[in-house]
Amino acid sequence: MTRYPPPHPTPWPTRPPAAAGLDPDRVAAAASHAERHETPWTRDLAEMVLTDFGERPPWNETLGPVRPRGGPNGLVLRGGDIVAEWGDTSRADMTFSVAKSYLSILAGLAWDRGLIADPHEPVRRTVADGGFEPPHNHRITWHHLLQQTSEWEGVLWDKPDLIDRNRSSGGRVAAAPKGTHRDLQPPGEFWEYNDVRVNRLALALLRLWRRPLPEVFGEMVMAPIGASSDWEWHGYRNSWVEIDGQRMPSVSGGGHWGGGVFIGARDQARIGLMLLNRGVWEGRRILSEAWIERMLEPCPLNPQYGYLWWLNTGRGLFPGASEAGYCARGAGGNLTWIDPDNDLVAVLRWTDPAAMAGFTRLLSEAVGA
């Protein structure tokens, strides 16, 4: 039975691993593994944003806020209690593409309220801002945007979609160098990780909600789950639009060019715990179970991907972990791992991505011991 932590800043209950049905030595080994394998990224994230995505000027120009990061930190939950914790889990750092998974939650909240009637309907039916017009973009649906199969073509916030064409990600190798020409396929027929297109989704969601997305996320998710007020969600200096006479920012779906979500591991664990419990927090429905089912349906073109969440389909992502597990992942070593089979949530900050499979394996072994 899940125990929900009280609202921040009331102390979060802890429990010894053995009392939670876990092998304490293996839990300790998993935590130590994550803490010892720090990401190779420098702590000067301004440098990483400029250099790590393989772009040359002017495409690599930073548009949103960037701050230095802290050291490795994280925690493990079972039954809602903390069974392991290391580092400064309250520090609000950049999360990079973890923000994409939060956009999926916002899309689900919109669907739950009828703002999106059907994920398979063309976006242009409800978002008429010129971004989804013929001869190519008019066929794009919400489903395509959420699965990274939209093939949206255009320039947004001075960044062309071409920047991320032929981008390698998630173990998938591109056929040509990143940022070079590739003939676009019809929407829904090609999977490619692309930040410009995710930012186009964020703008489309802003048009639907007609309110800044951080306000919606704060009101409908973070406040009900008792999160701290330390998290932030930013866009770019040039990503402002006018809606109903009000000027408001369109957020980014990551920190590729700065911006995105700045958040601490404990707040991320609250989001993970809400999803682990099928969208419910202490008896209150936050997100519909039907949306979570859609969110976790594997994309036929990439079974390791759902609606902006990474999946462990066929144990292809983390071979030593539960196939039912899924995660939000961000560049530089950020992971929120949710394992419904074993009632686990784990958040890793600034752990070497190459070490994450080892962590999930060790944690899974702690359950089976």
CATH code of the domain containing 263: 3.40.710.10
Q: What is the pLDDT of residue 259?
A: 98
In a domain? residue 336:
yes
Give 25's contacts (C-beta < 8 A, 6+ positions apart).
none
In a domain? residue 140:
no
In a domain? residue 191:
no
* DSSP secondary structure letters along 305-362: BSSSSEE-GGG-S-TTS-TT-EEEEETTTEEEEEEGGGTEEEEEESB-GGGHHHHHHH
pLDDT, averaged in runs of 10, over the chain (369 residues): 94 97 98 98 96 92 98 98 98 98 98 98 97 98 98 98 89 86 97 97 98 98 98 98 98 98 98 98 98 98 98 97 98 98 98 98 89
Q: What is the pLDDT of residues 227-265, one digit of tens each?
A: 999 999 999 999 999 999 999 999 999 999 999 999 999
Pull the structure tokens for residue 29.
């080994």
Q: Which residues of 319-340 are buried (b: 16+ CB within 10 A; e: fewer)?
A: eebbbebbbbbbbbbbbbbbbb
| DSSP 8-class letter at 53 | T
Q: Which of 100, 319, 287 is nearest to 193 (CA)?
A: 100
Give 241's contacts (C-beta < 8 A, 6+ positions apart).
203, 206, 247, 248, 250
In this structure, the dihedral spanned by the alpha carbons of residues 257, 247, 140 and 298, taken in order and rounded to 10 degrees, is: 60
Q: What is the pLDDT of residue 175?
A: 83
In a domain? residue 177:
no
| Longest distance between any two alpha carbons in the chain, whole Å | 60
In a domain? residue 190:
no
In a domain? residue 178:
no
User: What predicted TM-score, i.e. pTM, was given to this entire model?
Assistant: 0.97
In a domain? residue 231:
yes
Q: What is the pLDDT of residue 171?
A: 72
Number of domains within the chain: 1
Q: Which domain holds residue 352?
A: 17-110+209-368
Q: What is the pLDDT of residue 277?
A: 98
Q: What is the pLDDT of residue 116?
A: 98
In a domain? residue 263:
yes
Q: What is the pLDDT of residue 188?
A: 98
Pull the structure tokens for residue 159.
């960044």
Q: What is the pLDDT of residue 213?
A: 98
Map tokens 């759902």 to a residue.
Answer: 306
